[in-house]
Structure 1
Amino acid sequence: MPFPIVRKNGIPLYIQVKEAVLAEIKTGVWKTGDKLPTERELSEKLKVSRNTVSQAYQELEAEGVLSSVQGRGTFVCDRDDAVRIENRKELLLKIIDVAMEEGLQLGFTLEEFAEFATERARQKLEILSKVRVVFIECNREQVDYFSKKLQFDSGVSIAPLVLEDLSKDTDRYLPDVVASDLVITTFFHYDEVKELLGSRKNVLAISLDPQLETIVRIARIPMGRKIGLVSKSENFAGKVLLALKNAGLDGVDIRVFTQKMEMDIADIVHSLDVIICSPGRRREVEQHMTRRQEIIEFVYKPDVASINLLRAALIDLRRQ
């Protein structure tokens, strides 16, 4: 199983590992249900760190390509959406079967079990519809974007709050934060938010990672192209550059343009071949594109573990 890992081609190693695994699956080397090598085994074979393989596996699991089973390993999922949904349904039915068996052993009838389950689900939905969450981040673009992306079907209300606003005008914003049911921030700002809130509120930290496809597109930009990063804030631009550095792309020449600069956005766009932009400025950039240019929206997303942790935290709120 030769993997084409190249260490000096500008593409992060974990992305190469991920694409190589996908290639093995697409060519039929690994089929649905096959067990993959462990992270340790694959890292030793490829001579990369275990974290590199772990990151690749996590990305593929988040996309529904792989599935990990505690104590058994990592397996190839069926890529057909209908089949995958059916598999999840089967797993849920098994969980329900176990609960029913335990209910019968406690002396309840199946009719009573169905009644209790329906009522409990209704209670949870009612609770979640009243939950108020505050999401605190350091820049307006990211906090607005993720307050929308983190919405749940249950109707949970997520209010965005910029960290600088909270620190500068604590008296104004603190009462609403304290009155909320849950405060979310990123690991990067967890200590600062905790210091501002003290013991008045528990804070849940989540991890936001650059979208894999974004990193791949930037890594594949041909040499010689004029690249610009257009964002509202210097803070967001700094995070993007740091993310690219961490991905091994710090050698890419990127000019940064923020709203603080006294330059017309049309002139900026016209001078570039590739525009990397924040979600908050994409529409503005597109309006000024007059020739064939590549636009790359730099998107962050919560990792799978953070989303699962957040869902569990929401369910546990106001436990009765």
Structure 2
Amino acid sequence: MNRTVIRKNGIPLYVQVKDKVISDIRAGIYQSGDKLPTERELSAMIGVSRNTISQAYHELEHEGVIASAQGRGTFVCDRDDKVRLGNRRDLLQKVIDVALEECLQLGFTLDDFLQFASSRAKEKATLLDQSQIVFIECNREQVEYFSRKLEFGGVHITPVIIDELRDQERDALLQVESADLIMTTFFHFEEVRELLGDTRSVLAVSLDPELETIVKIARIPVHSEVGIVCRSERFAGKIRSALRQAGLDGYILRMTTTSDMQELSQFVKGLQAVIVSPSRKREVEKAIASHQSVIEFVFRPDAASVNLLRAAVADVRRKR
């Protein structure tokens, strides 16, 4: 693998790592089924942080380029280039074709398969619809946004702030007690487990910045003055951390949580761009000048976390 990454060229480091892995696969250096270097090994080879490698691997797994197996490592997916670049619909069709072949070999008809599959899908939908999930995070804007992003198939996710658990607030405790499943991010996993004790299991999910968000920020000239507008200092801290991990730490960052429009208008004056949390975008757009850009900083759960959540929800409902 080419071990050189170019810093401060406007392209996030993890995007460069992704491109290098894909390039090596296309060149035949890594072939279908080959094991890739661990995050630690690749970090040492290229000279970037493990967080950068982890982010690149997360994106590659989401796009179907690689697959990870717990305890075994990370491997190149055994698929052609078109599927490898993210054509999940083709992959699903292959799964269905295999199931159809098994169905026929067992002596069932195609009509039987259609009936069974439809019935099973409805059962799964009912299980998901009846599930109550609590998502615990450290600030209101992030937990509410993530809860909406993680909802699927009729599942309702109730947001709970971690401070509400620390303070033993009654509503938060009741929501946790009645939940079928409790989830949080890896960042707060240990603390949530300590607060809840051994009586409840907790599912941790990984949340990454959307690639589109990072690309937009990377287009801002280095050393520009850039504002961060959100509702909490904690969320601003997560934005700063994500920018550092992506190698976008060459800006002069200003931050505010004010909701006063006059103060906000004064804050954005002279800034090259303003990075906003999803809940602040509209009001910031009213305060900026026409030449300034507003970039919504969006985190999203990775595909592996969503799939894990779906499986966990169905399993919990089945046991109960």
* TM, length-normalised to structure 2: 0.80
Which deviations, in whole Å up to 9, do the C-alpha atoms of 1:244-296 show, x marking residues without a partner?
Answer: 23333344320111137896112222332210111110111112222211222
Which deviations, in whole Å up to 9, do the C-alpha atoms of 1:3-36 show, x marking residues without a partner?
Answer: 86224647543221224566x59xxx669xx749
- Residue in structure 2 matched with residue 185 of structure 1 by the alignment: 184
Asked if structure 2 preserves the Cα contact closer than 8 Å seen for 1:11 and 1:219, the reply is yes
Alignment of 1:1-320 (within 5 A): 5-7=5-7, 9=9, 11-20=11-20, 24=23, 35=32, 38-40=35-37, 43=42, 47-48=46-47, 55-63=55-63, 66=65, 68=67, 73-74=76-77, 75=79, 77-78=81-82, 84-98=88-102, 101=105, 104=106, 109-110=108-109, 115-152=115-152, 154-259=153-258, 264-319=263-318
Asked if structure 1 preserves the Cα contact closer than 8 Å seen for 2:229 and 2:255, the reply is yes
SS in 1 for 2:37: helix
Instruction: State the structure with bigger RCO (CA 8 A, min sep 6), 1 or 2.
Output: 2
Distance 1:265-1:44 versus aligned 2 partners, 3 A rule: closer
**C-alpha distance in 2 between matches for 1:80 and 1:207:** 22
> Match of 1:98, as an amino acid?
E
Which deviations, in whole Å up to 9, do the C-alpha atoms of 1:292-320 show, x marking residues without a partner?
Answer: 11222111111232122112112212216
Q: How far does residue 210 in structure 1 lie from its aligned partner after superposition?
A: 2.0
Q: How far does residue 121 in structure 1 lie from its aligned partner after superposition?
A: 2.8
Gaps of 5+ in 1: none
> Match of 2:191, as an amino acid?
E
Distance 1:8-1:86 versus aligned 2 partners, 3 A rule: closer
Instruction: Quote the RMSD (CA, aligned, Å).
Output: 3.7
Which segment drifts farther, 243-252 or 171-180? 243-252
SS in 2 for 1:319: helix
Distance 1:94-1:176 versus aligned 2 partners, 3 A rule: same
**C-alpha distance in 2 between matches for 1:146 and 1:291:** 30
Distance 1:295-1:311 versus aligned 2 partners, 3 A rule: same
Asked if structure 2 preserves the Cα contact closer than 8 Å seen for 1:134 and 1:160, the reply is yes
Asked if structure 2 preserves the Cα contact closer than 8 Å seen for 1:78 and 1:84, the reply is no
> Match of 1:78, as an amino acid?
K
Q: How far does residue 46 in structure 1 lie from its aligned partner after superposition?
A: 6.4
Q: How far does residue 114 in structure 1 lie from its aligned partner after superposition?
A: 5.4
**C-alpha distance in 2 between matches for 1:112 and 1:296:** 51
Asked if structure 2 preserves the Cα contact closer than 8 Å seen for 1:185 and 1:206, the reply is yes
* TM, length-normalised to structure 1: 0.80
Q: How far does residue 134 in structure 1 lie from its aligned partner after superposition?
A: 1.1
**C-alpha distance in 1 between matches for 2:53 and 2:236:** 28
Distance 1:292-1:50 versus aligned 2 partners, 3 A rule: closer
Asked if structure 2 preserves the Cα contact closer than 8 Å seen for 1:134 and 1:161, the reply is yes
SS in 1 for 2:295: strand
> Match of 1:274, as an amino acid?
A
Gaps of 5+ in 2: none
SS in 1 for 2:318: coil
